[in-house]
Amino acid sequence: MKKYHCLPACLFLFFTFFIAYSNSEAALSEADQACLGCHSMEQHKTLGNGEKLSLKINPVEIEHSVHGIIGCSACHGFTANDHPKRTFKSRKEYSALAARRCTTCHAPRDNIIHAKIVGKDPSKTTCIDCHGAHSIRRVSELSKGNQYCLTCHKWEISKRYLDGSKETVQVQESHLKESVHKNLSCVDCHVRVYSELHPVREFKNRRDLSLVLAENCKRCHFDKYTRTLDGMHFKAASEGNTKAPICTDCHGTHAIASAQKDKLANSKKCEQCHSDIYAIYAKSVHGTALIKEHIEDVPICSDCHKAHDNAGPHTTNFRITVPQICAGCHGQKEIMDKYGLSTKVVDTYLQDFHGVTMKFYKQYGQAEKKIAVCIDCHGVHDIMKMKSQNAALIKQNLTKRCQKCHAGATTNFPDSWISHYEPNFQKATLVFLIDWGYRIFIPFMIIGLLVQIVLHLWRYAVNR
C-alpha cells in the first residue's frame, strides 16, 4: 500500500495543469483563433529593403501577455476577414506604425522619459522596443528594484546634453554588484526619479549632471560633506571651478568602492588631476613601496593632505602640522620596527632648535613664521631613503636645502645637525663626552657646595 501514497498528489497535479492549459487555450477568442490559424505557422514576408519579417506568432506569448484579452484586432485594427495587403519599407517602419496604436490607450505623460523618448521621433524609438509586442506585460511584473531601471539602462543608450554632447547612460550591472552600495537601490541616489516618474531633466553637459547628482551623497554622508567645507576643493568649486573634484570624482559612481580598502587605487584618484605630483611621488620612498612592493603602511596623498577637509599645503597652518603628520607614522614603534627605522626621529627634531621654535610658533599662533620642518630637509613628494644612500650626495643635497634659510652655508654646515640621533660615542663623540662630563660634574659640584653649606650651618649652631 505504501507504494501508492503519492498517487493522489500526482493525479491532482496532472489535472491542475490540464485544466490550466485548456482554459488558457479557451481564453483566445474565435476571431483570434482565426488569426492564429495562419500566423502560428512558419512564414515570412520580404520587406522593401529586403529584410525578412517573420509572421509567426507564438500563442503562448499572447496568453501570458497583459493584452491577451483584448484580441489581435484591438491593436492591428483589422480581423482575419478584412486583412488588407500591405507593403512596408522596413521592419522599423512597420513597428513604428504598429506602435502608434499604443498611444490611443496609453497617452504618454508629460515630463517623463517616455514623452521625450517616444514623442521626439516616434519612428526611431517605439513602445515595443522596450515593452515587446505580443509578449507585452505589466511593467511592474517585468522587474523589481534596480532591475526595473536596468530594463532600459542596461542597454547602450545615451543622453544628449544641451551643449550637444552625447554621453552614455548605460549602467553596468556588474559594477552595481561590486559596489559598497549594492544594497541600495538606484532611486536612493537618483532621488527625483522613481518607478512611476522618470522626469526629463536638461543639463548643460555631463559634468553639470554629475555636479547635481553628487549633491545627493550628503543625504547620508553629511559628516563628510561638512568636512569638505574646510577643504580647498570645495573652495575651488564655490569659486566657480566646475573641474574641482566632487564626491563621485574620487569615489566613483555605480562602482563606488570603499576608499580604505585599496590604498593604491585610492592614490590613483588624485593622479587624475595631479599627475605631475603623482609622478614625483611614485619615485619617492613612499611611492615605490606602495606601487612596486604593495606596502600599505606608507602614506598616500590623503594621509598627509587629508581627504575631505584638505585645506591645501600652502596654508600657514599646514606647514606647522607637518611634524605631527610625519610623526603619525614615524613616531609609531610598531610600524617603524617593521622597516628598521628609528622612532627617535620625531623627538630629536622636537628637542632641537628647529623643533623647539616650531613648537612655540604653533603654540602661540605664529604659524606664519617659517622654521624648518621635516619636509624642508627631506623634501615633500620626493622623499628619499636616507640609509644606503651615497653620503656625499645626501650632504650635497642637504647643503642646498640648508642654504634656503641659512644664506652662505658651506658644506660644513649640515654637520652642525647631528642628524636624528641622540649623541653617542660613535656619532658626535665630543658632544657625547661633554654631555656626560657635565652630567657627572654638575651633581658633584652642587652636592659638594650643599655639603659645605650644611657643615657651615652646623658649625654655626654648635658654636652658639
| Contact with another protein (CB under 8 A) among 105, 356, 385, 393 | 356
Task: Choose, by CB under 8 A, the member of 187, 366, 380, 386 that binds another protein.
Answer: 366
Among 264, 256, 259, 261, smallest CA distance to 281 is for: 264
Q: Which range binds another protein by CB under 8 A, 106-114, 271-279, 315-323, 437-445? A: 437-445
Given 21, 222, 339, 441, the residue binding another protein (CB under 8 A): 441
Distance of alpha carbon 379 from alpha carbon 278, whole angstroms:
14
Is residue 74 within the footprint of another protein (CB under 8 A)?
A: no
CA–CA separation, 364 and 295 (whole Å): 38
Task: Considering only the stretches 20-28, 151-159, 166-174, 432-440, report the one whose residues sit in contact with another protein under the rule CB under 8 A.
Answer: 432-440
CB-wise, 262 or 435, nearer to another protein?
435
Alpha carbon distance 251, 441 (integer Å): 63
Binding-site size for another protein (CB under 8 A) equals 44
Question: What is the Cα gyration radius of the chain?
Answer: 40
Give 67's DSSP letter: T
Residue 459 contacts another protein per CB under 8 A: yes
Least separation in angstroms between CB 334 and another protein: 25
Q: Does 440 bind another protein (CB under 8 A)?
A: no
Decide: is 287 part of the binding site for another protein (CB under 8 A). no
State yes or no: residue 453 binds another protein (CB under 8 A): yes
- Give whichever of 142 and 449 is closer to another protein, judged by the CB atom: 449
> Max Cα separation, the chain?
149
Residue 56 and residue 39 in contact, taking contact as beta carbons nearer than 8 Å: yes
Note every long-range contact of 124-129, with CB atoms under 8 Å and residues 24 or more positions apart, other chains counting.
Answer: 126/95, 126/96, 126/98, 126/99, 127/99, 127/102, 127/103, 128/95, 128/98, 128/99, 128/102, 129/95
Query: In the set 68, 122, 331, 423, which binds another protein (CB under 8 A)?
Result: 423
The grid coordinates listed for 168 are 552614455
Q: Which residues pair with 44 in a beta bridge?
A: 54
* Structural contact between residues 22 and 43, judged by C-beta atoms closer than 8 angstroms: no
Only segment of 140-148, 302-310, 326-334, 453-461 that touches another protein (CB under 8 A)? 453-461
Q: Which of 369, 370, 401, 420 binds another protein (CB under 8 A)?
A: 369
Min dist CB 378 to another protein, Å, is: 18
Q: How many residues does the chain have?
A: 464
**Is 412 a binder of another protein (CB under 8 A)?**
yes
Q: Which stretches of the chain bind another protein, using CB under 8 A?
A: 356-357, 359-361, 363-364, 366, 369, 406-410, 412-418, 423, 428, 430-431, 434-435, 438-439, 441-442, 445-446, 449-450, 452-453, 455-460, 462
